Amino acid sequence: MAADIPWEVEDFDLSDDGKWLCFVTNEAGVSRARVLDTATGEHRPVAGLPDGVIAGGQWHSDGHHLAFSVGSARSTSDVYVWDAVEGGPAVRWTESELGGLVADTLVEPQAIDFSSFDGLKIRGFLYPAAPRFTGRRPVIINIHGGPEGQSRPIFQARNNFFMSELGVALIFPNVRGSTGYGKTFVKLDNGLKREDSVRDIGALLDWIATRPDLDPDRVMVTGGSYGGFMTLACATTYDKRIRCALDVVGISHFATFLKNTESYRRDLRRVEYGDERVPEVAEFFERIAPLNNAGRITKPLFVVQGANDPRVPASEAEQMVAKVRGNGGPVWFLNAKDEGHGFRKKPNMDFQFYATVMFVREHLLGGESATGAFR
């Protein structure tokens, strides 16, 4: 009935009387809600919802009021109610607590797309620096984990500091292998195709250079878990094109990762990354491993790790840090003894954030003050 919508349906709810079906689609990362008349098959959009991620739509027992929980760049999560009979825009019922931040001053994302090396369209979101910062702005490329994940226009929490106070633009690309763009797209990085997703970041660097508001000479790459692997791969592949890199609980060699990750995850990860017991795959892992290409890294690298990580063991970070340092490369290393796959305890999270700000100021901004002027 909705064959004209070429996007994934991620949620739906049928009214108690069966007359209306609400369904939510993921359209290049942005949630769109529609209501379908089950008698006619016609559907119409729900107006008045902000661009963001809808957690779900639920019908009231009266059969015509519909409630949504929506998170966006300016709201952690708020409730909106729409009247399917009266129509009009949805009404916001709540205002979430932002911890002192002023919603209207928070930067909203711009949907972007660019062509990769093979013509494939790659999508994502650009959060520009606050308007008070002028000139071409430094950029942080933040690559999601998974790899079967998707960056979406959600509340950026502490990341707002980089945009609002440091004048840094943030880009969240959805490289091939991301979810939300169909089954074919999500498989385009599997196994021996792994390097193609790294090439997507190369195409993004080309795209940044075409933008009058972004500085191609001041780019940092970061990401966590699989995004950490991508960060390390970009650090070795695009060393001359980036200013620095921040790897959080990332994979430095798929063979050692598969050997040391918890056994319950091993076969599942082999489906995605490839089976290291197959000679062709093992040879491929050796060739692309950031660990084996660490000699190419000349730019500052910051590695963050939890000592008790069952998914990506601390040995992945430790061997990478040792290798880069052995080559004379500049490395910061933060290893929390009481954390696992990502920091969860507030004191540790605070320390990681402050250390990240220091790293960004020292190695990405390169002498630029908080006002956007150079000292």
Tens of pLDDT, residue by residue over 282-303, are 999 999 999 999 999 999 999 9
Q: What is the pLDDT of residue 274?
A: 76
State yes or no: pLDDT of 216 exceeds 90.
Answer: yes
pLDDT 10s digits, 162-213: 999 999 999 999 999 999 999 999 999 998 999 999 999 999 999 999 999 9
pLDDT 10s digits, 342-358: 899 999 999 999 999 99
Rounded distance between C-alpha atoms, residue 126 and residue 153, angstroms:
9
Per DSSP, 365 falls in state I
Query: What tokens does 136 get?
Result: 């071409």
Per DSSP, 129 falls in state P
- Which residues sit opposite 34 in a β-bridge? 23, 45
Give the model's confidence band at 367: pLDDT under 50 very low, under 70 low, under 90 confident, else very high: low
Torsion angle, CA of 362/363/364/365, rounded to 10 degrees? 30
- Average pLDDT taken over every residue of the chain: 91
Q: What is the pLDDT of residue 335?
A: 95
Percent of the chain with pLDDT over 90: 72
Query: What tokens does 332 get?
Result: 């910061």
- Share in percent of the chain as helix, strand, coil (round to 5): 30, 30, 40
* Contact (CB, 8 A) for 58 and 67: yes
Per DSSP, 133 falls in state -
Per DSSP, 364 falls in state I
* Contact (CB, 8 A) for 220 and 242: yes
Amino acid occupying residue 94: T
pLDDT 10s digits, 318-345: 999 999 999 888 899 999 999 999 899 9
First to last CA, the chain: 60
Rounded distance between C-alpha atoms, residue 222 and residue 44, angstroms:
39
Q: What is the pLDDT of residue 2?
A: 65
- 311: Cβ–Cβ under 8 A, 6 or more apart, which residues? 225, 249, 261, 262, 265, 340, 341
Rounded distance between C-alpha atoms, residue 88 and residue 65, angstroms:
12
Residue with tokens 């209306």: 20
* Contact (CB, 8 A) for 289 and 297: no
Pick the range with the lowest mean pLDDT from 102-116, 200-214, 254-268, 297-311.
254-268
Arithmetic mean of pLDDT, 263-272? 81
DSSP string across 30-55: EEEEEEEETTT--EEEPBTPPSEEEE
Percent of the chain with pLDDT over 70: 97
Helices 194-209 and 226-237 cross at an angle (nearest 10°) of 60
Q: What is the pTM of this model?
A: 0.92
Q: Which of 258, 192, 197 is nearest to 223 (CA)?
A: 197
State yes or no: pLDDT of 365 exceeds 90.
Answer: yes
> Is the dihedral angle over the CA atoms 163, 306, 293, 228 positive or is it negative?
negative
Q: Is 352 left (phi over 0), alpha (psi -120 to 50) or beta?
A: alpha
